Amino acid sequence: MNIIDIINKTKNHSELSENEIKWLVDSYTDGEIPDYQMSAWLMAVCLNGLTERETLFLTLAMRDSGDILDLSGIDGVTVDKHSTGGVGDKTSLIIAPTAAACGVYVPKMSGRGLGHTGGTIDKLESISGFRTELLFSEFESIVQRTGFSIISQSGNLCPADKKMYSLRNATGTVDSIPLICASIMSKKLAVNADCILLDVKCGSGAFMKSEDDARRLADLMEKVGRMSGKKCRAIVTDMDSPLGNNIGNALEVKEAIEILQGKYKGRLYELCMELTAEMLSLAGKGTVAECFEMAENAVSSGKALEVLRRTIELQGGDGRVCDDVSLLPQAEFRYEIRAVRDMKITGIDSQEIGMASLILGAGRLSKTDTIDMSAGIIMNCSAGDCISVDDTIMTLCSSTVSDFSEASFRAVNALKFYGI
């Protein structure tokens, strides 16, 4: 086998065999294939796609390039959940303890944020003392004791994906549905839970802008998961406007805790209950309707909040935040954007809000950037709301940015409205 033949086969729409794809992934991971030749193959995939069989073979080869977790020591059904990301998406912080409170185990490895979308690991690290880098034995022990743990990705989990994703990012080959599927599913299969729920975001704040593309990705990931022997379900959800009221790391942890405290319901709460119900149903806990009721009871009874508290404490964090969210990082500077007229909000561009939050210091443009954990945006309105003159539309928060002119310009431009 050689890389030139493989590039030509993909360029000419000829299906690669399982052995050819495994050789390609292994040789690139080991450094035997240079970046420029792998870039040529990735571009051929972007232009011509892969078959479902090729996507499965690529996913498995990437999974097998590193460690595969052994969760057999966990005495129960394990369920993993993945979101393709978006603005204000703190669903894992609500769903994982709620599902655990209902009797399933949620071992989860998550990533950091890059660009306008946030990362679950960054959000959790806004809790004082919270450790996201654990030995597998400690991770497994916490899952067994509380029902869930969320940690950062292992250094040797899917090394092929790490290397290939960096190359895709540098060569404009990110936006390929088969490559996105293989990247996500290789990591999910390496975590090796019994069941996988996939939350595929669609809209202005998501990677998949159109519903057709989101559905194609969801269907492909679900098929790959099932062909790999897992119970797998993919659901397309809306990311046209920010999810919840808070965008930014500590702000999102605050909102998640307040939902688990029973203080708020609404779009974010409903979505979390729906996704938790799907996870529980996938794990054999009952029908989706029965599991939805179980999830709501876990929140209203306080059991889900208690699970979150115990996990925070076992991972070195200050569990008192579950009672007092003011213990989270607080912004030194705040700026209120007020309505200059009576208006009706018809839409909110998630990506623009995410970019405004990034300008405030809530995200990173490169992996080495430092995040301001207190930074972000508090939305005081949502699509469909009628706003009176001088009402606060949103509040910008930061401890590193005191000149809010650029961020406020982006944030205001995110609003779609008409005067009333």
In the annotation, is 161 catalytic?
yes
C-alpha to C-alpha distance for 157 and 139, rounded to whole angstroms: 15
In the annotation, is 187 catalytic?
yes
Which one of the listed residues 90, 168, 188, 233 is annotated catalytic? 168
In the annotation, is 131 catalytic?
no
Which one of the listed residues 161, 199, 238, 372 is annotated catalytic? 161
In the annotation, is 338 catalytic?
no
Q: Strands, DSSP E only, in 84-217?
A: 106-110, 148-152, 195-202
Which one of the listed residues 187, 254, 303, 309 is annotated catalytic? 187
Residue whose pair of structure tokens reads 């193959």 in the numeric block: 41
Beta strand pairing call for 106-110 and 148-152: parallel
Other beta carbons within 10 angstroms of residue 35's beta carbon come to 15
Scored b (16 or more CB within 10 A) or e, 274-301 reads: bbbbbbbbbbebeeeeebbebbbebbee
- Closest to 373 in 3D by CA, of 205, 127, 87, 132: 127
- Closest to 380 in 3D by CA, of 207, 239, 251, 205: 251
C-alpha to C-alpha distance for 35 and 372, rounded to whole angstroms: 34
Is the distance from CB of 112 to CB of 379 less than 8 angstroms?
A: no
Q: Decide: residue 97, CB within 10 A, 0-12 exposed, 13-18 middle, 19+ buried.
A: buried
> Which residues make beta-bridge pairs with 336?
395
C-alpha to C-alpha distance for 288 and 355, rounded to whole angstroms: 36
Contacts of 409 (CB under 8 A, 6+ apart): none
Which one of the listed residues 82, 116, 123, 163 is annotated catalytic? 82
Other beta carbons within 10 angstroms of residue 119's beta carbon come to 20
Is the distance from CB of 116 to CB of 87 less than 8 angstroms?
A: yes
The three-state secondary structure class of 417 is: strand
Which one of the listed residues 92, 176, 183, 357 is annotated catalytic? 183
Beta strand pairing call for 246-247 and 376-379: antiparallel
Active-site positions read 82, 161, 168, 183, 187
